[in-house]
Structure 1
Amino acid sequence: MSNANQAAQENANPYADPANPALPPTGFKLDPARAALVVIDPQNDFLSPSGASWSVFGPSITENNTVANLGQLFKTAKQVGLTVAVSPHYYYPCDHEWHFGGPLEKVMHNICMFDRKGPNTLEDFEGSGADFLDEYKPYILDGKTIIASPHKVYGPETNDLALQLRKKGVSQIILAGMAANLCIESHLRELIEQGFEVAVVRDATAGPRLPDGDGYLAAIINFRYLAHALLTTEQTVRELTS
């Protein structure tokens, strides 16, 4: 493909991979015997049209078919007996007393994303923005899925996700969920540093669109540089069921 044609393709679809990438393939091979599906923040405040952040994330979620793709990953992982883990995001009243925070932290607190009454109560939790999307509950609440303690900013440094995965003998991760340039990228970076192989499912996530920039585009670029593999849902399902 000529440089002009490649540029035209990328302008038509800014998320398309380059026709002639400079970065080499890693040789990643999915091994279900040591792999886990890890889903970040499969919660109403991200993924439901009634969620607190839908106006910012909804277009990217819709274009990527994120909700259905996550459902397909959950379903397939359970069918083949893959370890499944969820890293949720919860804020309790004490978290709103923090003395400082980054721009997106301030937004999340201001719009009451992931709010719960407290760590020891489920009062008003059912159906709230912090609750899991209803269609995922049969997979998440089956008594087998690892539900990690909540992460508080973006990455898993503050929860027990890595410990839970290590205890299950997991060394390879299929990473999906929300949000691409925030919690997904932060989990990706930390899990790589912890020695895991990580493949990101590119259409089972989405990013914010603001005047400040397209978060999904920023994430896709960094995924190409960082992840051991960048897969589609279709590719992932095929690998798990072949």
Structure 2
Amino acid sequence: MPDLAKSALILIGFQNDYFSPKGILHTVVEESSRVTGVVNNTLNLLDKRANDFGLVVNTPIHFTEDYSELNNPIGILKVIADVGAFKVGSFGAQVIEELKPYLNVIQEVPGKRGLNAFTHTNLYQLLCDNGITDIVLAGTVTSICIDSTGRSGVEAGFNVTVLSDCTSSRTPFEQDFYCNEVFPLYATVCSSQILLRQ
């Protein structure tokens, strides 16, 4: 298990468009989020261990009004542009209300415009500057942003842990498949309860 003092808890996708009932993409992750308890489990981890992590980082995704930063998007990024999600300044792009009590310990890393929290951000430099050796991933969508960030983290030299009960995907099946079959190929998978017992 990671040494929390040398670990960064990286929060991905904790925004209204995914987690608010009014969010444009709420139905995409609603069932999996309910099954894993992603929001409540992440809040519980923050409540009990936020100050023990070397860093707690939030990496929200934001787009301009016309999505000009996306060049011929396909898949989920095309869906985001088509439905108008995560526009800067919109309700959907804002951090979820439940995270606001922890903003004093959460450092926001801006610049995420796609699947990977390392791309177009200063996340790598921030982790290095703070002596971080391990990254712990929480958020959504498991099969996309969590996986992309986790793989890049490994390639950048970090040890990666994915929290199975602090992440969610498009379906419970997809969540279980990634946690059981994909993530163990390059990362440690565990529940937040393991970190709470450290």
Same fold (TM > 0.5): yes
SS for the counterpart of 1:152 is coil
Q: Corresponding residue for 2:101?
A: 138
> Which stretches in structure 1 are left out of the alignment for 5+ residues?
1-28, 117-123
Match of 1:230 among 174, 180, 189: 189
SS for the counterpart of 1:176 is strand
**2:163, 2:190 within 8 Å by CA — same for their partners in 1?**
yes
Matching of residue 215 in structure 1 with residue 178 in structure 2: no
> Which stretches in structure 2 are left out of the alignment for 5+ residues?
none
Matching of residue 179 in structure 1 with residue 126 in structure 2: no
**2:6, 2:53 within 8 Å by CA — same for their partners in 1?**
no
Cα distance in 2 between the residues matched to 1:222 and 1:138: 33
Summarize the Cα distance change of 1:218–1:115 in structure 2 as closer, same or farther, 3 Å threshold: farther
Deviations 1:103-134 (A, max 9, x none): 11111111112111xxxxxxx54xx1111111
Higher RCO (CA < 8 A, seq sep 6+) = 2
Summarize the Cα distance change of 1:93–1:226 in structure 2 as closer, same or farther, 3 Å threshold: same
What is the TM-score normalised by the length of structure 1? Answer: 0.75
Cα distance in 1 between the residues matched to 2:68 and 2:185: 35
Deviations 1:62-105 (A, max 9, x none): 01111101111222232435421111111112524644112111
Q: Corresponding residue for 2:115?
A: 154
**1:77, 1:83 within 8 Å by CA — same for their partners in 2?**
no
**1:77, 1:84 within 8 Å by CA — same for their partners in 2?**
no
Match of 1:170 among 129, 132, 156: 132
SS for the counterpart of 1:70 is helix
Count of aligned positions: 196
Matching of residue 191 in structure 1 with residue 153 in structure 2: yes
How far did 1:153 drift? 1.2
Percent of pairs identical after alignment?
Answer: 25
Select the structure of larger CA radius of gyration: 1
What is the TM-score normalised by the length of structure 2? Answer: 0.91
Cα distance in 2 between the residues matched to 1:171 and 1:102: 33
Cα distance in 2 between the residues matched to 1:111 and 1:55: 13
Matching of residue 89 in structure 1 with residue 50 in structure 2: no
Summarize the Cα distance change of 1:77–1:83 in structure 2 as closer, same or farther, 3 Å threshold: farther
SS for the counterpart of 1:203 is strand
Cα distance in 2 between the residues matched to 1:97 and 1:153: 10
**1:181, 1:218 within 8 Å by CA — same for their partners in 2?**
no
SS for the counterpart of 1:33 is helix
**Corresponding letter in the other structure for 2:185:** Y
